[in-house]
């Protein structure tokens, strides 16, 4: 048993002696300088940013040489592009920099390769030999990178790229939105124009409009004026005016409903009574067939006219609207 243990220990010691750099097995390889040059040590790191990458993404492969001391201590020789399997070089670059790491000046030379995966599966970067010269000792050395593997997985959906049906929907939505936008813009413009026109129209007060309509509809100088018809027209004009000017119930409402509304709006009694008299008389004439005297029409015409005038001068209206001056 002791013999077996001693034999195993010897094998392990021999193995360690024969393979001094165990780290070389790792993906992220760090190659120590085999022959120590004066007081400087050069280190090599070869690694990929991500060992698992989608097919439609790039693999960044870095070779980093790092030593203590000045940047010009070593001269790295040009080397060939890495031998790749299932990967393609898309670009490369190199950079030098000097940094202080743990209080020691450190020079860093970095080579970058941008690799594009070819197919889903495994990609490999074969080991590379990096040759360099130690300018202090004027000696040439070499370092070898490890074989690095990259797992290439399913491609990711590209930003903004859509499948055809989705793209169709997207285009449709875009077109519809554009149409709506144009239409909205046109409507807005039309409304603006209309509003401008109405503003122009609104300059003419409602009362004036109805006064003109009154005179235009009922011609008191006409000898053949139909009294019943004239009364019906007078009543209609007055109702429409009350509706437009004071939001009273419209032509679908009865006389009592209109009067009720005026009372509710706190119109002065004298105005309500006058309106009530006109509308009630008109109802009697319209619905009872009662004959109409010409003076009746003239009188009613004058009252309606005076109502419009009073409203124009702000004398007639809901209680809150009327303005009274107290001396």
Question: Which residues sit at the interface with another protein, rule CB under 8 A?
Answer: 251-256, 283-284, 286-290
Residue whose CB is less far from another protein, 160 or 289? 289
Taking CA atoms, 182 is separated from 173, 174, 186, in Å, by 14, 12, 6
Residue whose CB is less far from another protein, 50 or 257? 257
Residue whose CB is less far from another protein, 138 or 252? 252
Residue whose CB is less far from another protein, 202 or 284? 284
Q: Is 248 exposed, middle or buried (0-12, 13-18, 19+ CB in 10 A)?
A: buried
The minimum distance between CB 238 and another protein, in angstroms, equals 14
Residue whose CB is less far from another protein, 103 or 291? 291
Residues with Cβ within 8 Å of residue 10, at least 6 apart in sequence: none
The minimum distance between CB 209 and another protein, in angstroms, equals 21
User: How, if at all, do strands 52-54 and 148-153 pair?
Assistant: parallel
Write out the E strands in the chain. Answer: 29-32, 42-48, 52-54, 59-68, 74-76, 84-85, 87-101, 104-117, 121-125, 129-134, 139-144, 148-153
Q: Round to whole Å and give the CA distance between 243 and 105.
A: 93
Residue 321, token pair as written in the block: 């609207």
Q: Round to whole Å and give the CA distance between 254 and 10.
A: 121
The minimum distance between CB 305 and another protein, in angstroms, equals 24
Q: Round to whole Å and give the CA distance between 65 and 275.
A: 104
The minimum distance between CB 164 and another protein, in angstroms, equals 42
The minimum distance between CB 324 and another protein, in angstroms, equals 34
The minimum distance between CB 310 and another protein, in angstroms, equals 25
Residue whose CB is less far from another protein, 198 or 257? 257
Q: Provide the phi-psi class of 75: left if phi over 0, else alpha when psi is between -120 and 50, else beta.
A: beta
């Amino acid at each position: 048993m002791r013999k077996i243990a001693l034999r195993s220990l010897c094998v392990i010691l021999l193995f360690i002696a024969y393979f001094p750099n165990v780290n070389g097995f790792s993906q992220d390889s760090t190659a120590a300088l085999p022959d120590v040059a004066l007081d400087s040590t050069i280190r090599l790191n070869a690694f990929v940013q991500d060992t698992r990458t989608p097919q439609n993404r790039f693999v960044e492969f870095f070779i980093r040489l790092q030593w203590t001391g000045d940047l010009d201590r070593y001269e790295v020789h040009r080397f060939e592009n890495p031998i790749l399997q299932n990967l393609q070089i898309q670009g490369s670059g190199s950079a030098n920099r000097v940094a202080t790491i743990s209080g020691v000046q450190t020079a860093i030379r970095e080579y970058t390769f941008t690799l594009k995966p070819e197919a889903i599966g495994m990609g490999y970067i074969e080991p590379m030999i990096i040759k360099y010269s130690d300018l202090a000792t004027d000696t040439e050395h070499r370092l070898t990178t490890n074989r690095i593997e990259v797992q290439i997985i399913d491609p990711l959906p590209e930003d903004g790229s859509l499948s055809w049906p989705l793209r169709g929907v997207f285009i449709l939505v875009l077109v519809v939105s554009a149409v709506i936008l144009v239409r909205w813009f046109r409507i807005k413009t039309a409304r603006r124009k209309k509003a401008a026109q109405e503003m122009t129209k609104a300059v003419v007060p409602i009362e004036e409009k109805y006064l003109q309509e009154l005179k235009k509809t009922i011609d008191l100088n006409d000898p053949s004026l139909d009294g019943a018809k004239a009364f019906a027209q007078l009543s209609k004009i007055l109702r429409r005016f009350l509706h437009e000017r004071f939001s009273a119930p419209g032509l679908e409402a009865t006389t009592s409903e209109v009067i009720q509304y005026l009372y509710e709006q706190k119109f002065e009694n004298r105005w309500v009574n006058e309106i009530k008299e006109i509308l009630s008389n008109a109802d009697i004439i319209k619905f009872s067939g009662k004959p109409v005297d010409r003076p009746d029409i003239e009188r009613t015409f004058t009252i309606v006219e005076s109502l419009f005038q009073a409203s124009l001068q702000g004398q007639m209206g809901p209680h809150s609207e009327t303005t009274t001056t107290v001396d």
